Structure 1
Amino acid sequence: MHNNNQHTFKTHDGTELFYQHWRSTASKSKTRKAILLFHRGHEHSGRMAHLVEELQLPEFDFFAWDARGHGESPGERGDAPSFSACVKDIQYFVQHIQQRYNIDSKNIAVVAQSVGAVMAATWVHDYAPKIRALCLASPAFDIKLYVPFAKPGLSVLSQLKGNFFINSYVKAKMLTHDKERAQSYGTDPKIARAISVRMLLGLYAASKRIVDDAQNIYVPTQVLSSGSDFVVHQKPQWDFYQKLPHPHKEFHILDGFYHDTLGEKQRGIALQKIRRFIVQCFAKPYQAPNVLHADKIGASCAVAENLSAALPPKSIRQSFWALTKKNLKIGSLLSQGLKIGEETGYDSGSTLDFVYRNQAESANPIGKIIDRQYLNAIGWRGIRVRKQNIEALLNKYAKVLLEQGKALKIMDIAAGHGRYILDAAAQLPQRPASILLRDYSPVNVKAGQALIAERGLQDIAQFAEADAFNAESLAHVEPKPNLAVVSGLYELFNDNDLLRQSLQGLSQAVEDEGYLIYTGQIWHPQQEFIARALTSHRAGNAWVMRLRSQAEMDALVEEAGFQKIDQCIDDFGIFTVSVAKKLKSKP
């Protein structure tokens, strides 16, 4: 029923990853449908091949990759640059399938197991793909490490020794009752028992984040949990499932099943559930999640509302945060970084420029120590990665425009001091025809104009004082850009109506088939600390962030007439940078 072929695709860092494609010979529809299979840790695509026929879905194409460091794909066995690099590999794999085989993401379902299931769930959370169904078999959200204090011990050792490898304790007979499959596991030369510590710790970090934030996964999801699993804990799987917001979700406990759920002796029970779930998810046309009003109702709205509320007077929590704020005030007498934050707001353009410079600038030794600790906060590290991702994507799509023979016209609607745009422009193969920087703050405009002069760009660059939420002003900018940037702005405002005004103006400003680079903040481990202790640039009010899911941010951009085509995210899972293409205006 399926013809098998083997191929490679080029992922985000140029690495060629191996995959198998089983093309349907039964489908008579012009609209092709696909199921993507993601294997367990240590294994490879060949270990999933039996599912192609056993799932009894002949009208679907099947695709299965070898994750980097596994099977036929390159890389040291059991290792990768990071867990998030593997998640980004999925994004490029899906883009490859869409482009090469003309299969829309809305006609794709995912079946993933163990570590592969965590990767797939992280991808769906972080990149918000428009897929039809997600089936997760025994997701490895929490591996059973039987040595006490194993996780903190591995973390300490990795800091002392760097990356190293540990071998899996799992024997084949602990994975499946299927003796033939267990025997093949023991003799398969492509199976690697080792896993790198950075991948293992990355798996744990991503798992905790995704389980905690599963309310932002807007895809029909089925979770299959093995009832006698020696490898992973069941509770996080249940916690994950309970938070899923989609009405079409299922949780099944498979009594007596070991960890290799899809390779168990009685796997037909699991496969029947997967087959039914996928068929039902394809029974009706794809329906996008309704997230455009998440600022007014829902989980993120409730969290921001709670963080905005005053704590009970003289409560322990109120006293703790009052002391924290006082310590920041005292620290600002010594630290240049804290001083800028206290005076201009921790979300101001001046603070951002200090974070980008990444230098301990205080005059005294204690202040320098405080500066360095401050700059090493996870949020600021993520901000600096965001800058790198903006520069990389700006460079990538500037080259696309230049290769099309178009004059490059860049605009940033809330540029702060403009440092990251000017840094990115300096890396381009040729100078842009124009750079228009805008910001509401006279302080930022003055600093930005000085940077333009310092770099000798007065002939092509200008910096104007303007409101990024004034649709009329944006709509009439000159020259009209074909590469617009909005970075670190929308995250500061909870109200989606404000974003609509800005995006409406941008939609009218950007030339047809031009690009919009926009940022998002989908998660933050210090959300309460920021809300309770840090002040905003807006009249010194508390800096209360409402985190927007990637699905919500993409929906707002799409509503304005753009289509997302690319995305990056930092290894911490905090800041995304996306690219959308302006659709042609209707005549």
Structure 2
Amino acid sequence: MISLAEHETTTENANGRTAPGAAEEHFFRTHDDTELFYRKWPARSGTARGAIVLLHRGHEHGGRVAHLVGELGLDDFAFYAWDARGHGRSPGTRGFSPSFAASVRDLDSFVRHIIARDGFAMEDIAVVAQSVGAVLAASWVHDYAPPIRALVLASPAFSVKLYVPFARQGISLWQKLKGQFFVNSYVKAKFLTHDPERIASFENDPLITRPIASNILLDLYDTAERVVADARAIVVPTQLLISGSDWVVRHAPQHRFYENLAHPLKERHVLKGFFHDTLGERERAIPIAHMRRFLTERFAKAPAELDVTNADATGYTRDEADRLSSPHDMLSAKGLYWTSYRTSLRCAALISKGIRTGAKTGFDSGSTLDYVYRNQPRGIGPGGRLIDKQFLEAIGWRGIRQRKLHLEELIEMCLAKLAASGRTTNVLDIAAGHGRYILDAVAQSGIKLDSVRLQDYSPINVDAGNKLIAERGLQSIANFHQADAFDGDMLAATVPSPDLAIVSGLYELFSDNGMIRRSLDGLARAMQPGSLLIYTNQPWHPQLEMIARALTSHRGGEAWIMRRRTQAEMDQLVAAAGFKKIEQRIDRWGIFTVSVAERK
């Protein structure tokens, strides 16, 4: 990450006046090597107590929130405001991003750049965001679980009012038929704010971006629905500011989001008569006073991240799993539906290779995952292959294949990091399945490895893995053993000490956090400071009920009932074992994550 402009300049705020103090102009390099523009206002007191990241509305840019630097009056904080990809002075097609998830990852890159460049800890960061920026911030805190000090969301655009009936469905259909296109916003400035200076500056600002790409608009809806429904996964203090007379977005999802927040340090303020530009309204001194008090209180005390490491016993995902394990009356509508669904799967297994593999070995087995990784529809006749193709295209399996790509990317990154630091490269995978993903990653890496130890509890997987090792000619460095990934003492005795340990697709299958603690503790005892751990998680899945009601597990053919772990829960368990998270990837649907942590 580099800064292309270190000079200072004054920055006009939304009212045409300069913000107090000079703003530095910088660029940072995001995850796909794109350089995004941002402004920085150093703490006017000289020494910054923390950093406040300002995120602008959709269609706008960082200069539109510059006025908050002076109006908040928090002189002992540094402020940062980016121009999001495709907006303001940042590059890219106006109003476009590869996906909403890519923009969320941009935000993760931005905050990590601030931390690395200016020496803050994640606990020193607060985010103030408005409209689409507020959805970005909420999604980042939900999906990446950064332990920031505070989150302030103003009029989050969880549900945009399109006014045209069935507009969302029409946009989706047109995108499928014709590909991506752009939708122009015709919202007039007078419906955003009562402040005449803000109205004039909006209408005359050459950096305002009217169009928004259809993929981003649709992703915005999908992501917002997921985050609102699962807001209990957000474990940082949060303040919500709602404009009472908002013409642009709906109120109901904002209230539902607030109701679902689990942290006891949460606030909701409904601002009567305010239009959508909450922080640029004529009477904005009211919400700004709320923000100033909230941020001051949060930084006056120790970080207050909510501890969710006992969520397996008392958390909402435990309640969800309990509901999924409760049977329906066989003669009820739902009971009859799922009985017929299971019958159809048994019939499909007669001609679909993938469904037959899942029914025989468990849909969560290493054999099924290996079949999904290969992604080659097979079956009896054209009908069997068509059914198998539909099976392989299920959103969960698409997420699994994206997880494999993320695993390979991060394995290569970790090996390069170890090699660059002059360390040995002894790799341990404690539940490798058939080992295809790790062996593929080893084959693709240009790093010479010292050893690769693969383990799995299933003899079937061990035999299949040894065959893959032989096929790739890796017998000189790789070996496969049958072992229990939850035997902490066995893991602690691993020789040689692993420089890179991998846990993929395992912890998600077991609800009990005690098992996870034993496994992580064993790895921590085996690994030296500076060693790296790659771990996966499943914080969300849109087909949990179908999986629980229709699919079977590798454990004796019982129902495959999953208890989700929020990313915060998984990260806190890893941190408690003595690791510090340094990287994360997540698929565009928010289903599977792959993270890297360093042994402290």
Please state if 1:511 is matched with 2:522. no
1:187 aligned residue (182, 200, 204): 204
In the other structure, the counterpart of 1:288 is 305
Asked if the contact 2:236/2:304 (under 8 Å) is kept, the reply is no
TM, length-normalised to structure 2: 0.96
Whole-Å Cα distance in 2 between the matches of residues 40 and 187 of structure 1? 17
- Conserved in 2, the CA contact under 8 Å of 1:349 and 1:416? yes
Task: Determine the structure 2 residue equivalent to 1:399.
Answer: 416
AA paired with 2:40?
H
The reply to whether residue 13 of structure 1 matches residue 35 of structure 2 is no
The SS at the match of 1:279 is: helix
Q: Distance in 1 between matches of 2:347 and 2:118?
A: 60
Q: Distance in 2 between matches of 1:346 and 1:8?
A: 46
Residue correspondence of structure 1 range 469-548 to structure 2 within 5 A:
469-548=486-565
Whether 2:436 is the aligned partner of 1:423: answer no
The alpha carbon displacement at 1:130 in A equals: 0.8
CA distance in 1 between counterparts of 2:433 and 2:220 reads 35
Provide the rounded CA distance (Å) in 1 between the counterparts of 2:254 and 2:46: 35
The answer to whether 1:408 aligns with 2:451 is no
Q: Is the 8 A contact 2:237 2:305 kept in 1?
A: no
Report SS of the residue matched to 2:314: coil
**2:26 match: secondary structure:** strand
Give, in angstroms, the shift of residue 324 of structure 1. 0.7
Is there any run of 5+ residues in structure 1 with no aligned partner, and where? none
State whether residues 536 and 543 of structure 1, in contact with CA within 8 Å, keep that contact through their aligned partners in structure 2.
yes
**Among 309, 328, 345, which residue is 2:326 paired with?**
309
Which aligned segments of 4 or more residues in structure 1 are displaced greater than 3 angstroms? none
**CA-CA distance at 1:127 after TM superposition:** 0.5
Match of 1:159 in 2: 176
Contact 1:3–1:24 (CA under 8 A) maintained in structure 2 = no
Unaligned runs of 5+ in 2: 1-19
Query: Are 2:88 and 1:71 equivalent residues in the alignment?
Result: yes
- The aligned residue for residue 202 of structure 1 is 219
Aligned amino acid, residue 297 of structure 1 = T
Shift of 1:448: 0.5
TM-score by length of 1: 0.98
The letter for the 1-side match of 2:448 is: R
Aligned to 1:551: 568
Q: Structure 1 residue 112: deviation in Å?
A: 0.2
Range with bigger deviation, 513-522 or 181-190: 181-190
The answer to whether the Cα contact below 8 Å between 1:27 and 1:60 also exists between their aligned partners in 2 is no
1:437 aligned to which of 429, 454, 461: 454
Distance in 1 (alpha carbons) for counterparts of 2:508 and 2:154: 34
Stretch of structure 1 that moved more, 474-483 or 119-128: 474-483
Deviation, structure 1 residue 554: 0.5
How far does residue 512 in structure 1 lie from its aligned partner after superposition? 2.0
- Once the two structures are TM-superposed, the CA of residue 27 in structure 1 deviates from its matched residue by 4.7
Once residues 415 and 75 of structure 2 are traced to their aligned partners in structure 1, the CA distance between those partners, rounded to angstroms, is 43
Matches within 5 A, 1:246-257: 246-257=263-274
AA partner of residue 200 (structure 1): L
Q: Distance in 2 between matches of 1:379 and 1:24?
A: 46
Asked if the contact 1:2/1:58 (under 8 Å) is kept, the reply is no
SS at match of 1:282: helix
CA contact (8 A) 1:291 1:552 kept: yes
Amino acid at match of 1:531: A
Q: 1:287 to 1:250 in 2, by over 3 A?
A: closer
Equivalence map 1:111-510=2 (5 Å) = 111-510=128-527
Tell me the residue number matched to 2:9: none
Alpha-carbon deviations, 1:129-156, whole Å to 9, x = none?
1111111000000000111111111111
Give the residue type in structure 1 aligned to 2:151. Answer: L
1:273 and 1:25 map into 2 onto residues whose CA distance is: 21
Once residues 236 and 304 of structure 2 are traced to their aligned partners in structure 1, the CA distance between those partners, rounded to angstroms, is: 10
Deviations 1:367-424 (A, max 9, x none): 1111111111111001111000111111111101111122211111000000000111
Asked if the contact 2:138–2:227 (Cα under 8 Å) also holds between the matched residues in 1, the reply is yes
In the alignment, the residues of structure 1 paired with residue 272 and residue 49 of structure 2 have an alpha-carbon distance, to the nearest angstrom, of 35
SS in 1 for 2:42: strand
Post-superposition offset of 1:32: 3.1
Task: Give the match's secondary structure for 1:295.
Answer: helix
Between 205-214 and 407-416, the greater mean CA deviation after superposition: 407-416
Return the offset for 1:430.
2.5
1: CA distance, partners of 2:401 / 2:63? 40
Distance 1:432 1:213 in 2: 41
Identity of matched residues, %: 56
- The one-letter amino acid paired with 1:492 is L
Residue-pair matches, total: 581
